[in-house]
Amino acid sequence: MMHRIRHIVLCVALLQIGASEGYAKPPKLATKLYRDSTIFTAKLLKGHPKKAGDTFKVKIHVNVHSPWHVRSSKMVDDYAMVPLKVTMPDSLTKYFEITELNELTEPTVRFDSNFQLLTKANYEPFDLIATVKVKHKLSASVPFYLYVRYQAVNPTQCMPPMTYEVPMTFLGQQPIKLRVADAMKPSQFRLATLNEPE
């Protein structure tokens, strides 16, 4: 019983810290791995968009390590449980917007007696597909990345919600070098190299 009380107190305290970040200002980006050691990688699927109005897809791999699990993007954000969320950095919102996020696995649904709520979480590595629309053509190659906010939990503790730049540049992963084809003169046309983290 005492173990459960400590778990609740810790989760509530960390959630209050996470909630104070809010969405009105740029998120505070994590720059180190925490105890859960969740690793994110991202790569462009199929090819570069050709013009404004086109969409492209980015695959995000979430490497969850036991005994931790990650709250699913399919959960409702009710401030007691923080679902995974993918957002566009402010510096790229002029050019791109996320139109859809698809979690490719069905999360595990369980009742959390600590919060008296049903939870949806992923206990194994999983993938997300973000569909991104090009709002305006680009005049040059753009280092493309996304923000991923998530919360990791194990049977005894909750980590505070954290936001990473993905690809995780602080781990040496390279941003996706994205180029919209009609932004280039024919004489300069070439496919940009896509650096895909392993």
Asked if residue 111 belongs to a domain, the reply is yes
Asked if residue 195 belongs to a domain, the reply is no
| pLDDT exceeds cutoff 60 at 196 | no
Domain count, the chain: 1
d(CA 77, CA 84): 9
CATH number at residue 23: 2.60.40.1250
Residue numbers of the domain that contains 53: 2-188
Nearest-CA neighbor of 84 among 75, 68, 69, 73? 73
Nearest-CA neighbor of 30 among 190, 187, 168, 162? 162
Over the stretch 30-54, which tens digit does the pLDDT of each residue have? 999 999 999 999 999 988 888 889 9
Asked if residue 124 belongs to a domain, the reply is yes
Over the stretch 67-91, which tens digit does the pLDDT of each residue have? 999 999 998 876 567 899 999 999 9
- CA neighbours within 13 Å on the CB side: how many for 115? 18
Asked if residue 194 belongs to a domain, the reply is no
Asked if residue 198 belongs to a domain, the reply is no
Asked if residue 96 belongs to a domain, the reply is yes
Asked if residue 193 belongs to a domain, the reply is no
Nearest-CA neighbor of 173 among 72, 67, 39? 39
pLDDT of residue 140: 76
Asked if residue 196 belongs to a domain, the reply is no
Higher pLDDT, residue 167 or 21: 167
d(CA 41, CA 61): 5
For the chain, list the strands marked E by DSSP: 39-45, 55-63, 69-71, 85-87, 96-103, 108-112, 117-122, 126-134, 142-144, 146-150, 152-153, 162-166, 176-178
